[in-house]
Amino acid sequence: MDRGDKNKYLGWLRKGIMAECVLVTAVAALVMGGRGEEDAQTSLSNNTLAIEDDYIKWVDFTVTYEALCKAYEWDVETHGSEYEIDWVELLAYTAAKTGGEFDKSALKTLDKAAEKLSEGEKTIQELTEDLKYYSYYKEAYDAAIGGLVGEYKEEARDASAEGGYVERYGLKGYFPLARGFDYTHYDDFGAGRSYGYQRKHLGHDMMGLVGTPIMAIESGVVEALGWNQYGGWRIGIRSFDGKRYYYYAHLRQNYPYAEGLEEGSVVTAGDVIGYMGHTGYSTTENVNNIKIVHLHWGLQLIFDESQKEGNNEIWIDVYPLTRFLAKHTQAAVKVEGTKEWRRTVDIVDPEVEEYEAGHKAQKEDDENRVPEQTQ
């Protein structure tokens, strides 16, 4: 639920980005930290975006559920038309106009821009040419949600589809819990935690039942697997573009992971990767010291590899994103005679195919490389 060693001040950020109409004269000191419940602890929420040393150092992801829905609907509605709208670009435009605010007025701004774009009255380049911070928001939002929408193939419900799959475009990221399992949640990002020391909660908790199947939100590579005293049994999955690190913690005692899952495994969005529990808060492995059964999931943004671990990690509030992902759930079925569950509908994600093809080519190249002859 929480993260790592004692927090330290990073100091004043050298460059702050706020609304065009708001003059930023000072930036609150960012409280940063090392590893904790989910292997990491980062700064407290701050309304400032900062760029330093040519990469983004901080993102306050303030996009609301309503804004995510609107931008997504415009993207899907215009897909394949003469004037396609990219939902990330539309959200970045809106943020650049409003300073990252997504109130009712901002939603009107979003809709007006989308209407101009969809009718060919304006291009995104024309709309944003005088917006100083558009490129910043574009990069930040692309890192946060850029891998969730796109083309994929879904297993057909009948035998009439060619090859057994049908072409889809839309939300290919999945809700983190299997369809039909009860859960409760609320926005708890930034709440206080005290195990080990005082710190902030930098993820999102979803309360449910022991054994609830946990689904991969996005396709990627398993980068971390095993025990952490704060997160208990946990999984870390990195997106193929390297920008997103998904963290799933407090998995089930004795049987936390899907069969065969290991570091280096490639997972497809919607795969069962583990099971809900309440492990953690113990230096001894496989202990249930968390009082309430729940999944903690967190999303870390990585613009430079130095941010993966240490004092400048970026974790964002994913409560609105969790609500949005509920638009795309995956059912799971019990594997008879085992503790395993499996997804019920397969998909083919082009990102998985591309990664595996590249990985295979690299492996063959390494095997075929002739070693240098020693003299």
pLDDT for position 29? 31
Q: Which of 134, 135, 170, 126 is nearest to 152 (CA)?
A: 170
Question: What is the pTM for the complete model shown?
Answer: 0.84
373: exposed, middle or buried (C-beta count within 10 Å: 0-12, 13-18, 19+)?
exposed
State the amino acid at position 88 in one-letter form: V
pLDDT for position 17? 35
The secondary structure of residue 201, as a DSSP letter, is B
Name the phi and psi angles at 371, rounded to 5. -65, 145
State the amino acid at position 354 in one-letter form: E
Instruction: List C-alpha distances in Å: 312 to 61, 137, 236, 333.
Output: 16, 19, 18, 40
Q: Which of 283, 297, 275 is nearest to 342 (CA)?
A: 275
Q: What residues does each domain of the chain span?
A: 65-151, 184-355
Reported CATH class of domain 184-355: mainly beta
Q: Helical H runs in the chain?
A: 65-78, 87-98, 104-118, 124-128, 134-145, 319-325, 350-368
pLDDT for position 51? 59
Residues 6+ apart with CB under 8 A from 367: none
Q: What is the pLDDT along the chain (375 residues), one digit of tens a residue?
A: 444 333 333 333 333 333 333 333 333 333 333 333 333 333 323 344 555 568 999 999 999 999 999 999 999 999 999 999 999 999 999 999 999 999 999 999 999 999 999 999 999 999 999 999 999 999 999 999 999 999 999 999 876 667 799 999 999 999 999 999 999 999 887 776 655 554 577 899 999 999 999 999 999 999 999 999 999 999 999 999 999 999 999 999 999 999 999 999 999 999 999 999 999 999 999 999 999 999 999 999 999 999 999 888 999 999 999 999 999 999 999 999 999 999 999 999 999 999 999 988 888 888 887 565 544
Taking every pair of C-alpha atoms in the chain, what is the biggest distance, in angstroms?
73
35 token code pair: 């590893």
56 token code pair: 């983004």
pLDDT for position 157? 81
pLDDT for position 154? 96
pLDDT for position 189? 75
- To 10 degrees, what angle do helices 104-118 and 65-78 make? 10
pLDDT for position 37? 38
